Amino acid sequence: MEQKKKKRTLFIVIITALLLGIGIFAVITHSRNISESLQNFSANTVETTEIEYHDISNHINVSGNVESENLVKITSRLTARVSSLNVELGSHVKEGDILCVFDSSELQQQYDSLLETQQNLQNQNEHTHKINERNLENAKRDRAISLEQAQRAIDDAISARDRAYQKESNLVNEINNEIVRRDDAVNVMNTTDDPQQYEEASRTFQDAEMKIQTKESSLEVIREQFSTYDNAVQSAYDAYTSAERNADLTIQSYQDILDSEQFQKDSNSKTELEKLADSIAECTVKAPKSGVITSLSIAEGSIPTTDALMTIEDIDSLKIKVQISEADILNIKKGMSAIVKTSATGDKEFSATVSRVVNIYSSSSPDMSMAGASAGSYSAEITIDDNSSELLIGMNAKVKIILDEKKNVLAVPYDAVVMDDNGNSHVLLAVKESDGVTKAKSVSVEKGMEGTYYTEIISAEIKEGDNVIMNPDNYNDGDILPVADSDTERGNGAVADE
Protein backbone atom coordinates (compact mmCIF):
# COMPACT_ATOMS: atom_id res chain seq x y z
CA MET A 1 0.00 0.00 0.00
CA GLU A 2 2.82 2.30 0.93
CA GLN A 3 4.59 1.57 -2.35
CA LYS A 4 1.54 2.59 -4.39
CA LYS A 5 1.47 5.94 -2.58
CA LYS A 6 5.09 6.60 -3.46
CA LYS A 7 4.50 5.87 -7.15
CA ARG A 8 1.49 8.21 -7.28
CA THR A 9 3.48 11.03 -5.62
CA LEU A 10 6.35 10.67 -8.13
CA PHE A 11 3.90 10.77 -11.03
CA ILE A 12 2.38 14.00 -9.74
CA VAL A 13 5.84 15.60 -9.41
CA ILE A 14 6.73 14.63 -12.97
CA ILE A 15 3.47 15.95 -14.36
CA THR A 16 3.86 19.22 -12.43
CA ALA A 17 7.45 19.72 -13.67
CA LEU A 18 6.35 19.02 -17.24
CA LEU A 19 3.55 21.56 -17.07
CA LEU A 20 5.86 24.13 -15.50
CA GLY A 21 8.42 23.64 -18.31
CA ILE A 22 5.76 24.02 -20.95
CA GLY A 23 4.61 27.26 -19.32
CA ILE A 24 8.10 28.71 -19.15
CA PHE A 25 8.75 27.85 -22.78
CA ALA A 26 5.53 29.54 -23.80
CA VAL A 27 6.44 32.70 -21.89
CA ILE A 28 9.96 32.83 -23.45
CA THR A 29 8.59 32.26 -26.91
CA HIS A 30 5.97 35.00 -26.49
CA SER A 31 8.58 37.45 -25.18
CA ARG A 32 10.86 36.71 -28.11
CA ASN A 33 8.06 37.32 -30.54
CA ILE A 34 7.24 40.63 -28.87
CA SER A 35 10.92 41.70 -29.01
CA GLU A 36 11.26 40.73 -32.66
CA SER A 37 8.08 42.59 -33.47
CA LEU A 38 9.40 45.72 -31.76
CA GLN A 39 12.74 45.43 -33.57
CA ASN A 40 11.02 44.98 -36.92
CA PHE A 41 8.80 47.98 -36.22
CA SER A 42 11.79 50.05 -35.20
CA ALA A 43 13.71 49.01 -38.32
CA ASN A 44 10.83 49.90 -40.61
CA THR A 45 9.97 53.20 -38.89
CA VAL A 46 10.98 56.12 -41.12
CA GLU A 47 13.33 58.80 -39.75
CA THR A 48 12.44 62.31 -40.88
CA THR A 49 13.37 65.86 -40.13
CA GLU A 50 11.81 69.20 -40.99
CA ILE A 51 13.34 71.22 -43.80
CA GLU A 52 14.54 74.54 -42.33
CA TYR A 53 16.61 77.56 -43.20
CA HIS A 54 20.21 77.17 -42.10
CA ASP A 55 23.54 78.93 -42.27
CA ILE A 56 25.82 76.60 -44.22
CA SER A 57 29.56 76.66 -44.17
CA ASN A 58 32.56 74.69 -45.32
CA HIS A 59 35.39 74.77 -42.88
CA ILE A 60 38.43 72.98 -41.60
CA ASN A 61 39.20 72.32 -37.97
CA VAL A 62 42.65 73.05 -36.61
CA SER A 63 44.07 73.83 -33.20
CA GLY A 64 46.88 75.72 -31.57
CA ASN A 65 47.84 77.77 -28.55
CA VAL A 66 46.73 81.32 -27.82
CA GLU A 67 49.64 83.73 -27.90
CA SER A 68 50.19 87.44 -28.22
CA GLU A 69 50.29 88.96 -31.64
CA ASN A 70 52.74 91.52 -30.31
CA LEU A 71 55.52 89.85 -28.36
CA VAL A 72 58.61 91.70 -27.19
CA LYS A 73 61.66 89.96 -25.80
CA ILE A 74 63.54 92.20 -23.39
CA THR A 75 67.28 91.62 -23.81
CA SER A 76 70.43 93.16 -22.39
CA ARG A 77 74.12 92.82 -23.18
CA LEU A 78 75.03 93.79 -19.62
CA THR A 79 76.64 91.34 -17.22
CA ALA A 80 76.08 93.44 -14.12
CA ARG A 81 74.16 92.45 -11.01
CA VAL A 82 70.40 93.10 -10.93
CA SER A 83 70.03 95.61 -8.12
CA SER A 84 66.23 95.80 -8.28
CA LEU A 85 63.47 93.85 -10.03
CA ASN A 86 60.07 95.53 -10.21
CA VAL A 87 58.03 92.81 -11.96
CA GLU A 88 57.13 89.15 -11.66
CA LEU A 89 55.42 86.60 -13.89
CA GLY A 90 51.96 87.85 -14.78
CA SER A 91 52.67 91.49 -13.93
CA HIS A 92 50.84 94.03 -16.06
CA VAL A 93 53.16 96.80 -17.22
CA LYS A 94 52.69 100.01 -19.15
CA GLU A 95 55.00 101.45 -21.75
CA GLY A 96 57.81 103.31 -19.99
CA ASP A 97 57.53 101.42 -16.68
CA ILE A 98 60.87 100.51 -15.10
CA LEU A 99 61.16 96.72 -15.25
CA CYS A 100 64.52 96.26 -13.54
CA VAL A 101 67.70 98.16 -12.71
CA PHE A 102 71.25 96.87 -13.03
CA ASP A 103 74.09 97.94 -10.72
CA SER A 104 75.85 100.72 -12.66
CA SER A 105 78.48 101.72 -10.05
CA GLU A 106 81.40 100.06 -11.84
CA LEU A 107 80.35 101.46 -15.19
CA GLN A 108 79.96 104.91 -13.62
CA GLN A 109 83.50 104.74 -12.22
CA GLN A 110 84.87 103.82 -15.62
CA TYR A 111 82.90 106.63 -17.19
CA ASP A 112 84.07 109.23 -14.67
CA SER A 113 87.71 108.16 -15.00
CA LEU A 114 87.63 108.22 -18.77
CA LEU A 115 85.76 111.52 -18.76
CA GLU A 116 88.44 113.09 -16.52
CA THR A 117 91.20 111.79 -18.77
CA GLN A 118 89.44 113.09 -21.83
CA GLN A 119 88.82 116.47 -20.17
CA ASN A 120 92.51 116.79 -19.26
CA LEU A 121 93.49 115.89 -22.79
CA GLN A 122 91.02 118.41 -24.12
CA ASN A 123 92.44 121.13 -21.84
CA GLN A 124 95.95 120.28 -23.00
CA ASN A 125 94.88 120.37 -26.62
CA GLU A 126 93.19 123.73 -26.10
CA HIS A 127 96.38 125.10 -24.52
CA THR A 128 98.50 123.80 -27.38
CA HIS A 129 96.00 125.23 -29.82
CA LYS A 130 96.32 128.68 -28.32
CA ILE A 131 100.13 128.47 -28.54
CA ASN A 132 99.92 127.40 -32.17
CA GLU A 133 97.52 130.23 -32.93
CA ARG A 134 99.87 132.71 -31.24
CA ASN A 135 102.84 131.38 -33.19
CA LEU A 136 100.86 131.75 -36.40
CA GLU A 137 99.98 135.35 -35.60
CA ASN A 138 103.61 136.10 -34.68
CA ALA A 139 104.78 134.56 -37.94
CA LYS A 140 102.36 136.72 -39.87
CA ARG A 141 103.50 139.80 -38.01
CA ASP A 142 107.20 138.87 -38.51
CA ARG A 143 106.52 138.44 -42.21
CA ALA A 144 105.11 141.94 -42.45
CA ILE A 145 108.14 143.39 -40.61
CA SER A 146 110.67 141.43 -42.67
CA LEU A 147 109.07 142.44 -45.93
CA GLU A 148 108.87 146.04 -44.81
CA GLN A 149 112.60 145.99 -44.02
CA ALA A 150 113.41 144.28 -47.31
CA GLN A 151 111.35 146.85 -49.17
CA ARG A 152 113.28 149.68 -47.50
CA ALA A 153 116.55 148.03 -48.57
CA ILE A 154 115.26 147.95 -52.12
CA ASP A 155 114.22 151.56 -51.95
CA ASP A 156 117.63 152.58 -50.53
CA ALA A 157 119.52 150.67 -53.21
CA ILE A 158 117.41 152.20 -55.95
CA SER A 159 117.89 155.69 -54.47
CA ALA A 160 121.67 155.22 -54.30
CA ARG A 161 121.76 153.97 -57.88
CA ASP A 162 119.55 156.86 -59.04
CA ARG A 163 121.79 159.38 -57.31
CA ALA A 164 124.83 157.88 -59.05
CA TYR A 165 123.13 158.13 -62.42
CA GLN A 166 122.08 161.69 -61.66
CA LYS A 167 125.62 162.60 -60.62
CA GLU A 168 126.93 161.06 -63.82
CA SER A 169 124.40 163.06 -65.79
CA ASN A 170 125.43 166.25 -64.01
CA LEU A 171 129.13 165.60 -64.66
CA VAL A 172 128.45 164.99 -68.34
CA ASN A 173 126.62 168.31 -68.53
CA GLU A 174 129.43 170.08 -66.66
CA ILE A 175 132.05 168.51 -68.92
CA ASN A 176 130.08 169.56 -71.97
CA ASN A 177 129.85 173.09 -70.62
CA GLU A 178 133.58 173.19 -69.99
CA ILE A 179 134.28 171.88 -73.48
CA VAL A 180 132.16 174.69 -74.90
CA ARG A 181 134.02 177.21 -72.72
CA ARG A 182 137.36 175.72 -73.83
CA ASP A 183 136.43 175.80 -77.50
CA ASP A 184 135.26 179.39 -77.20
CA ALA A 185 138.64 180.31 -75.65
CA VAL A 186 140.48 178.59 -78.53
CA ASN A 187 138.49 180.57 -81.05
CA VAL A 188 139.33 183.80 -79.29
CA MET A 189 142.99 182.86 -79.13
CA ASN A 190 143.02 182.05 -82.83
CA THR A 191 141.25 185.24 -83.93
CA THR A 192 142.32 188.02 -81.56
CA ASP A 193 145.26 190.39 -82.05
CA ASP A 194 144.90 191.84 -78.63
CA PRO A 195 147.56 190.38 -76.34
CA GLN A 196 145.49 191.01 -73.25
CA GLN A 197 142.47 189.37 -74.75
CA TYR A 198 144.63 186.47 -75.90
CA GLU A 199 146.06 186.09 -72.40
CA GLU A 200 142.62 186.03 -70.83
CA ALA A 201 141.37 183.45 -73.38
CA SER A 202 144.50 181.36 -72.69
CA ARG A 203 143.72 181.30 -68.97
CA THR A 204 140.15 180.33 -69.70
CA PHE A 205 141.34 177.52 -71.97
CA GLN A 206 143.66 176.14 -69.32
CA ASP A 207 141.00 176.34 -66.60
CA ALA A 208 138.43 174.62 -68.79
CA GLU A 209 140.87 171.92 -69.81
CA MET A 210 141.79 171.19 -66.20
CA LYS A 211 138.11 170.99 -65.14
CA ILE A 212 137.34 168.72 -68.06
CA GLN A 213 140.07 166.32 -67.01
CA THR A 214 138.99 166.43 -63.36
CA LYS A 215 135.34 165.89 -64.17
CA GLU A 216 136.12 163.13 -66.67
CA SER A 217 138.10 161.36 -63.93
CA SER A 218 135.11 161.69 -61.58
CA LEU A 219 132.77 160.53 -64.34
CA GLU A 220 134.90 157.46 -64.95
CA VAL A 221 134.84 156.62 -61.23
CA ILE A 222 131.07 157.02 -61.08
CA ARG A 223 130.50 154.88 -64.17
CA GLU A 224 132.71 152.20 -62.71
CA GLN A 225 130.33 152.10 -59.68
CA PHE A 226 127.16 151.63 -61.76
CA SER A 227 127.38 147.81 -61.62
CA THR A 228 127.75 147.98 -57.89
CA TYR A 229 124.59 150.04 -57.58
CA ASP A 230 122.70 147.71 -59.96
CA ASN A 231 123.89 144.69 -58.01
CA ALA A 232 122.79 146.29 -54.76
CA VAL A 233 119.27 146.83 -56.18
CA GLN A 234 119.08 143.25 -57.41
CA SER A 235 120.34 141.93 -54.07
CA ALA A 236 117.68 143.96 -52.30
CA TYR A 237 115.01 142.42 -54.53
CA ASP A 238 116.41 138.95 -53.92
CA ALA A 239 116.48 139.56 -50.20
CA TYR A 240 112.84 140.63 -50.34
CA THR A 241 111.86 137.48 -52.22
CA SER A 242 113.82 135.29 -49.80
CA ALA A 243 112.32 136.99 -46.77
CA GLU A 244 108.86 136.60 -48.23
CA ARG A 245 109.41 132.90 -49.03
CA ASN A 246 110.84 132.12 -45.59
CA ALA A 247 108.08 134.00 -43.85
CA ASP A 248 105.43 132.20 -45.88
CA LEU A 249 107.01 128.83 -45.09
CA THR A 250 106.99 129.66 -41.40
CA ILE A 251 103.34 130.74 -41.56
CA GLN A 252 102.39 127.61 -43.49
CA SER A 253 104.15 125.36 -40.99
CA TYR A 254 102.15 126.86 -38.13
CA GLN A 255 98.97 126.67 -40.18
CA ASP A 256 99.67 122.99 -40.86
CA ILE A 257 100.08 122.39 -37.15
CA LEU A 258 96.71 124.00 -36.50
CA ASP A 259 95.09 122.04 -39.30
CA SER A 260 96.51 118.75 -38.03
CA GLU A 261 94.93 119.29 -34.59
CA GLN A 262 91.60 117.95 -35.85
CA PHE A 263 93.27 114.63 -36.66
CA GLN A 264 94.89 114.40 -33.25
CA LYS A 265 91.58 114.22 -31.39
CA ASP A 266 91.11 111.01 -29.41
CA SER A 267 88.09 109.66 -31.22
CA ASN A 268 88.56 106.25 -29.60
CA SER A 269 88.12 107.71 -26.12
CA LYS A 270 85.06 109.60 -27.25
CA THR A 271 83.55 106.45 -28.72
CA GLU A 272 84.32 104.47 -25.58
CA LEU A 273 82.80 107.23 -23.47
CA GLU A 274 79.62 107.12 -25.53
CA LYS A 275 79.48 103.34 -25.16
CA LEU A 276 79.82 103.62 -21.40
CA ALA A 277 77.09 106.28 -21.31
CA ASP A 278 74.82 103.98 -23.32
CA SER A 279 75.58 101.08 -20.99
CA ILE A 280 74.75 103.20 -17.94
CA ALA A 281 71.47 104.21 -19.55
CA GLU A 282 70.76 100.53 -20.32
CA CYS A 283 71.08 99.72 -16.63
CA THR A 284 67.55 101.06 -16.24
CA VAL A 285 65.40 98.70 -18.29
CA LYS A 286 62.02 100.15 -19.29
CA ALA A 287 59.02 98.53 -20.92
CA PRO A 288 58.98 99.38 -24.64
CA LYS A 289 55.24 98.70 -24.74
CA SER A 290 52.33 97.75 -22.53
CA GLY A 291 51.51 94.12 -21.81
CA VAL A 292 51.96 91.20 -19.44
CA ILE A 293 55.21 89.59 -18.28
CA THR A 294 54.96 86.03 -19.61
CA SER A 295 58.53 84.86 -19.00
CA LEU A 296 61.20 85.96 -16.55
CA SER A 297 64.77 84.66 -16.41
CA ILE A 298 66.38 87.01 -13.86
CA ALA A 299 66.16 87.51 -10.13
CA GLU A 300 67.07 90.42 -7.90
CA GLY A 301 70.72 90.21 -6.89
CA SER A 302 71.67 87.81 -9.68
CA ILE A 303 73.78 88.28 -12.78
CA PRO A 304 71.97 87.26 -15.99
CA THR A 305 73.40 84.17 -17.67
CA THR A 306 71.76 84.97 -21.01
CA ASP A 307 70.89 88.16 -22.84
CA ALA A 308 67.14 87.33 -22.61
CA LEU A 309 65.71 88.93 -19.48
CA MET A 310 61.95 88.64 -19.88
CA THR A 311 59.08 88.67 -22.37
CA ILE A 312 56.22 91.13 -22.63
CA GLU A 313 53.10 90.09 -24.50
CA ASP A 314 50.15 92.27 -25.46
CA ILE A 315 47.05 90.54 -24.09
CA ASP A 316 44.76 92.88 -26.04
CA SER A 317 46.06 91.55 -29.34
CA LEU A 318 45.97 87.76 -29.52
CA LYS A 319 46.63 85.21 -32.23
CA ILE A 320 46.83 81.47 -32.69
CA LYS A 321 49.43 79.68 -34.79
CA VAL A 322 47.96 76.59 -36.45
CA GLN A 323 49.22 73.85 -38.72
CA ILE A 324 47.55 73.39 -42.09
CA SER A 325 47.68 70.08 -43.96
CA GLU A 326 48.82 69.85 -47.54
CA ALA A 327 45.28 68.96 -48.61
CA ASP A 328 43.88 72.22 -47.15
CA ILE A 329 46.64 74.80 -47.61
CA LEU A 330 45.55 75.96 -51.09
CA ASN A 331 42.04 76.62 -49.74
CA ILE A 332 43.21 78.91 -46.95
CA LYS A 333 43.37 82.60 -47.83
CA LYS A 334 44.30 85.65 -45.84
CA GLY A 335 41.18 87.46 -44.58
CA MET A 336 39.02 84.36 -44.12
CA SER A 337 36.78 84.29 -41.08
CA ALA A 338 37.37 81.85 -38.27
CA ILE A 339 35.71 80.80 -35.03
CA VAL A 340 37.71 80.02 -31.91
CA LYS A 341 36.75 77.93 -28.90
CA THR A 342 38.70 76.84 -25.85
CA SER A 343 38.08 74.26 -23.16
CA ALA A 344 38.24 76.97 -20.52
CA THR A 345 35.53 79.10 -22.14
CA GLY A 346 33.25 76.17 -23.03
CA ASP A 347 30.84 76.72 -25.92
CA LYS A 348 31.53 80.43 -26.17
CA GLU A 349 32.80 81.36 -29.63
CA PHE A 350 35.27 84.11 -30.48
CA SER A 351 35.40 85.60 -33.93
CA ALA A 352 38.79 85.63 -35.63
CA THR A 353 40.44 86.25 -38.98
CA VAL A 354 43.17 84.50 -40.92
CA SER A 355 45.87 87.17 -40.79
CA ARG A 356 48.76 85.26 -42.35
CA VAL A 357 49.23 82.13 -44.45
CA VAL A 358 52.69 80.58 -44.65
CA ASN A 359 52.84 78.64 -47.93
CA ILE A 360 56.18 77.11 -47.04
CA TYR A 361 56.36 73.55 -45.91
CA SER A 362 58.06 73.06 -42.58
CA SER A 363 59.46 69.66 -41.75
CA SER A 364 59.07 70.42 -38.06
CA SER A 365 56.90 72.85 -36.17
CA PRO A 366 58.27 73.29 -32.64
CA ASP A 367 55.86 76.13 -31.94
CA MET A 368 52.84 73.91 -32.62
CA SER A 369 51.40 71.45 -30.19
CA MET A 370 48.68 69.66 -32.13
CA ALA A 371 47.84 66.18 -31.00
CA GLY A 372 48.43 63.75 -33.81
CA ALA A 373 50.07 66.37 -36.03
CA SER A 374 52.31 65.11 -38.77
CA ALA A 375 56.05 65.60 -38.76
CA GLY A 376 55.67 68.58 -41.08
CA SER A 377 53.01 70.89 -42.44
CA TYR A 378 52.17 74.37 -43.62
CA SER A 379 50.99 76.99 -41.16
CA ALA A 380 48.77 80.01 -40.68
CA GLU A 381 48.15 82.69 -38.09
CA ILE A 382 44.66 83.42 -36.78
CA THR A 383 44.08 86.84 -35.21
CA ILE A 384 41.37 87.14 -32.55
CA ASP A 385 38.96 89.93 -33.49
CA ASP A 386 37.57 90.41 -29.97
CA ASN A 387 39.66 91.94 -27.20
CA SER A 388 38.27 89.48 -24.66
CA SER A 389 39.76 89.10 -21.22
CA GLU A 390 38.47 85.52 -21.14
CA LEU A 391 41.17 84.28 -23.51
CA LEU A 392 44.52 83.85 -21.84
CA ILE A 393 47.92 83.36 -23.36
CA GLY A 394 48.82 79.68 -23.50
CA MET A 395 45.25 78.35 -23.72
CA ASN A 396 44.73 75.46 -26.13
CA ALA A 397 42.25 76.60 -28.75
CA LYS A 398 40.18 74.86 -31.39
CA VAL A 399 39.83 76.92 -34.55
CA LYS A 400 37.25 76.53 -37.28
CA ILE A 401 38.40 78.30 -40.47
CA ILE A 402 35.42 79.18 -42.66
CA LEU A 403 36.26 78.35 -46.27
CA ASP A 404 32.84 79.30 -47.65
CA GLU A 405 29.41 80.03 -46.21
CA LYS A 406 25.84 80.93 -47.07
CA LYS A 407 23.31 82.50 -44.77
CA ASN A 408 19.66 81.51 -44.33
CA VAL A 409 19.15 78.97 -47.13
CA LEU A 410 16.86 75.92 -47.30
CA ALA A 411 18.98 72.93 -46.44
CA VAL A 412 18.69 69.27 -45.54
CA PRO A 413 21.17 66.85 -43.99
CA TYR A 414 23.77 65.67 -46.46
CA ASP A 415 22.55 62.03 -46.43
CA ALA A 416 18.99 63.02 -47.28
CA VAL A 417 19.94 63.89 -50.89
CA VAL A 418 20.02 60.94 -53.32
CA MET A 419 21.62 60.99 -56.76
CA ASP A 420 20.31 58.66 -59.48
CA ASP A 421 22.28 56.99 -62.25
CA ASN A 422 21.78 60.01 -64.52
CA GLY A 423 23.37 62.34 -62.00
CA ASN A 424 20.06 63.97 -61.03
CA SER A 425 19.45 64.75 -57.36
CA HIS A 426 16.23 64.22 -55.43
CA VAL A 427 14.93 63.91 -51.90
CA LEU A 428 12.11 61.84 -50.45
CA LEU A 429 9.49 63.77 -48.56
CA ALA A 430 7.22 62.14 -45.98
CA VAL A 431 3.78 63.38 -47.12
CA LYS A 432 0.63 62.59 -45.14
CA GLU A 433 -2.33 61.90 -47.45
CA SER A 434 -5.92 62.91 -46.77
CA ASP A 435 -6.74 59.38 -45.61
CA GLY A 436 -4.09 59.65 -42.92
CA VAL A 437 -1.56 57.43 -44.67
CA THR A 438 2.00 58.78 -44.91
CA LYS A 439 3.76 58.11 -48.22
CA ALA A 440 7.19 58.77 -49.66
CA LYS A 441 7.27 61.42 -52.40
CA SER A 442 10.34 61.90 -54.61
CA VAL A 443 11.08 65.54 -55.42
CA SER A 444 13.84 66.62 -57.80
CA VAL A 445 16.16 69.22 -56.36
CA GLU A 446 19.17 71.22 -57.41
CA LYS A 447 22.04 70.96 -55.00
CA GLY A 448 23.55 74.24 -53.94
CA MET A 449 26.39 74.69 -51.54
CA GLU A 450 27.41 71.63 -49.56
CA GLY A 451 28.33 72.23 -45.98
CA THR A 452 29.91 69.92 -43.50
CA TYR A 453 26.50 68.47 -42.46
CA TYR A 454 23.82 70.31 -44.44
CA THR A 455 23.36 70.65 -48.20
CA GLU A 456 21.52 73.55 -49.78
CA ILE A 457 18.60 72.43 -51.94
CA ILE A 458 16.76 74.46 -54.55
CA SER A 459 13.30 73.37 -55.68
CA ALA A 460 9.95 75.07 -56.23
CA GLU A 461 8.19 72.03 -54.76
CA ILE A 462 9.89 72.25 -51.39
CA LYS A 463 9.16 74.70 -48.64
CA GLU A 464 10.16 75.25 -45.06
CA GLY A 465 8.53 72.78 -42.69
CA ASP A 466 8.34 69.85 -45.12
CA ASN A 467 9.50 66.54 -43.68
CA VAL A 468 12.41 64.95 -45.52
CA ILE A 469 13.29 61.24 -45.06
CA MET A 470 16.72 60.81 -43.50
CA ASN A 471 17.27 57.24 -44.81
CA PRO A 472 16.01 57.57 -48.40
CA ASP A 473 17.87 54.47 -49.65
CA ASN A 474 15.33 52.28 -47.76
CA TYR A 475 12.29 53.64 -49.61
CA ASN A 476 10.93 54.36 -53.05
CA ASP A 477 8.57 56.96 -54.38
CA GLY A 478 5.05 56.12 -53.29
CA ASP A 479 5.97 53.74 -50.47
CA ILE A 480 3.69 53.77 -47.45
CA LEU A 481 5.78 54.85 -44.51
CA PRO A 482 5.56 53.10 -41.11
CA VAL A 483 5.22 56.30 -39.12
CA ALA A 484 4.49 55.60 -35.46
CA ASP A 485 3.29 59.03 -34.47
CA SER A 486 3.73 62.69 -35.24
CA ASP A 487 6.87 62.95 -33.11
CA THR A 488 8.46 60.14 -35.10
CA GLU A 489 7.53 61.90 -38.31
CA ARG A 490 9.28 65.08 -37.31
CA GLY A 491 12.36 63.35 -36.03
CA ASN A 492 14.57 65.04 -33.51
CA GLY A 493 14.79 68.42 -35.15
CA ALA A 494 17.74 70.26 -36.66
CA VAL A 495 21.36 69.27 -36.20
CA ALA A 496 23.92 72.08 -36.02
CA ASP A 497 26.11 72.38 -39.15
CA GLU A 498 29.41 71.93 -37.46
Residue 51 neighbours by CB under 8 Å, 6+ apart: 410, 411, 412, 457, 462, 463, 464, 465, 466, 467, 468
How much is the pLDDT for 324? 92
How much is the pLDDT for 1? 42
Cβ contact 200:185 at 8 Å: no
Instruction: From 263, 297, 331, give the residue that closes a domain.
Output: 263
- In Å, how far are 63, 203, 498 from 339, measured between CA atoms? 11, 151, 11
pTM score, whole prediction: 0.52
d(CA 415, CA 457): 12
What does the DSSP 8-state code read for residue 262? G
d(CA 322, CA 119): 59
**40, part of any domain:** no
**143, part of any domain:** yes
How much is the pLDDT for 21? 55
Instruction: From 341, 371, 405, give the residue that closes a domain.
Output: 405
Task: Count other Cβ atoms within 10 Å, centred on residue 111.
Answer: 18
Judge if 125 and 198 occupy the same domain: yes
**181, part of any domain:** yes
Give the DSSP per-residue string, 371-388: TT--S-EEEEEEEESS--
pLDDT, averaged per 10 consecutive residues of the chain (498 residues), comes to 43 53 48 43 69 88 90 90 94 94 94 90 89 93 94 94 93 94 92 91 93 92 91 94 94 91 73 90 94 92 91 89 92 92 91 92 58 67 83 90 89 89 90 88 89 86 90 88 53 42
Strands 467-469 and 98-102, how do they pair? unpaired
Cβ contact 49:411 at 8 Å: no
How much is the pLDDT for 69? 84
Cβ contact 321:69 at 8 Å: no
Residue 394 neighbours by CB under 8 Å, 6+ apart: 65, 66, 67
d(CA 270, CA 304): 28
For the chain, the first-to-last Cα distance in angstroms comes to: 86
d(CA 467, CA 489): 7
**17, part of any domain:** no
Judge if 321 and 356 occupy the same domain: yes
Q: What is the CATH number of the domain that holds 436?
A: 2.40.420.20
Judge if 217 and 257 occupy the same domain: yes
Residue 58: strand, helix, or coil: strand
Judge if 115 and 244 occupy the same domain: yes
Measure CA 411 to chain center: 49
Q: Is the dihedral of CA 468, 471, 477, 483 positive or negative?
A: negative
Tell me the residue range of the domain where 433 lies. 48-55+406-490
Judge if 115 and 238 occupy the same domain: yes
**36, part of any domain:** no
How much is the pLDDT for 377? 85
Q: What is the CATH number of the domain that holds 375?
A: 2.40.30.170
Judge if 341 and 220 occupy the same domain: no
Judge if 128 and 236 occupy the same domain: yes
Would you call 297 exposed, middle or buried from its count of C-beta atoms within 10 A (0-12, 13-18, 19+)?
A: middle
Judge if 301 and 344 occupy the same domain: no
Instruction: From 405, 430, 464, give the residue that closes a domain.
Output: 405
**336, part of any domain:** yes
Judge if 433 and 448 occupy the same domain: yes
**The total number of structural domains that make up the chain:** 4
Judge if 204 and 322 occupy the same domain: no
**495, part of any domain:** no
Judge if 295 and 437 occupy the same domain: no
Cβ contact 441:428 at 8 Å: yes
Q: What is the CATH number of the domain that holds 189?
A: 1.10.287
**278, part of any domain:** no
Q: What is the CATH number of the domain that holds 307?
A: 2.40.50.100
Judge if 459 and 328 occupy the same domain: no
